[in-house]
Copies of this chain bind each other. A is one copy, B any other.
């Protein structure tokens, strides 16, 4: 990997942008030139990367000229404009939004699961929704041994999944409540402090939210299971970082706890913490700032003879976004397809 890449980072000042900088530093990612891009509001800010202060510029199409890759973590509307623009200027666009994930010619990849899909890109590559990554990574190794009949996934998602302003709002709401002041609600659809909000993204006609639909259709695409039966309820809870999921999976024949655990132990990117003792399970705080997806609370599902139930947690900004995108590029460099 002697090659050094010219990297455009769109959304550099956001919560995922900050994680990109950390991940690229920690992993000694082969960046030659790094262009930090954001909205005009954030232009002029300075961010540190490898001990050097870099100035954030406003995102323009010209900024992609000569770039090898563009990491794009912005709104879906922005991605719809910027991904094709980056591609036209010769960069491969790695997109964090849902804008292109369901396009047939756009790979949707978790590198530990379906990296080969990266070879068939047409200039735009998508990273999955931040809750889909941990779910898919716990399902994938089990699916190599058993057919999956049905998956139920109920999530416990953090404020940062809605962005930096939504995270600040949670802290401000907590402070207002502690001070006996009025709570301001602007970023989340309801007060998040001391509450749980069963709505992430907009509602669809069938009563599911778009976040729940994403978990279904994105899992199908990543796992190459176009008919996978999957139902999710996505809930925002008052945590800052990391998303957790309670999973109930039904297989085509029994799979024991010991077999599932052994499959997980051999799965890259997954750490099992499953002690059946007080505290011996992963929580959002454990996953925050850590690369791996954590899984625990594994048990035979009491409601079905072929069922297993578990709990998984991952840093939504890291493995749920920035890290997963960095790992895609690493795989492609190693593979030679980039």
Residues of A bordering B, CB below 8 Å:
150-152, 154, 156, 171, 174-175, 178, 189-191, 194-199, 202-203, 206-208, 216, 229-231, 233, 235, 237-240, 244, 246, 248, 257, 276-279, 281, 283-285, 296-304, 307, 309, 311
Cα distance, A300 to B239, chains bound together (Å): 29
Do B198 and A283 have beta carbons less than 8 Å apart? yes
Cα distance, A207 to B202, chains bound together (Å): 36
Do B191 and A231 have beta carbons less than 8 Å apart? no
Residues of B within 8 A of A279 (CB): 189-190, 199
Cα distance, A58 to B238, chains bound together (Å): 38
Number of identical protomers: 2
Known: A154-B154, A190-B285, A276-B207. A198 touches B303 (CB 8 A): no
Do B229 and A303 have beta carbons less than 8 Å apart? yes
Do A197 and B297 have beta carbons less than 8 Å apart? no
A316, chain B: closest CB distance, angstroms: 13
Do B150 and A216 have beta carbons less than 8 Å apart? no
Residues of B within 8 A of A197 (CB): 283
Do A198 and B235 have beta carbons less than 8 Å apart? no
A153, chain B: closest CB distance, angstroms: 9
A336, chain B: closest CB distance, angstroms: 39
**Residue from B175, B195, B257, B303 within 8 A of A231 (CB atoms):** B303
**Residue from B175, B237, B300, B303 within 8 A of A178 (CB atoms):** B175
Do A190 and B283 have beta carbons less than 8 Å apart? yes
- Cβ contacts A to B, 6 pairs, < 8 Å: A152-B152, A190-B279, A195-B284, A198-B283, A235-B244, A238-B238
Do A246 and B154 have beta carbons less than 8 Å apart? yes
Cα distance, A150 to B100, chains bound together (Å): 36
Nearest-CB residue, chain B, relative to A208: B299
Do B238 and A198 have beta carbons less than 8 Å apart? no
Do A302 and B238 have beta carbons less than 8 Å apart? no
| CB-based closest 9 A-B pairs | A207-B299, A231-B303, A233-B246, A154-B154, A154-B246, A229-B303, A189-B278, A156-B196, A231-B302
Do A304 and B194 have beta carbons less than 8 Å apart? no
**Residue from B156, B171, B207, B257 within 8 A of A297 (CB atoms):** B207
Cα distance, A299 to B212, chains bound together (Å): 12
Do A216 and B285 have beta carbons less than 8 Å apart? no
A186, chain B: closest CB distance, angstroms: 12
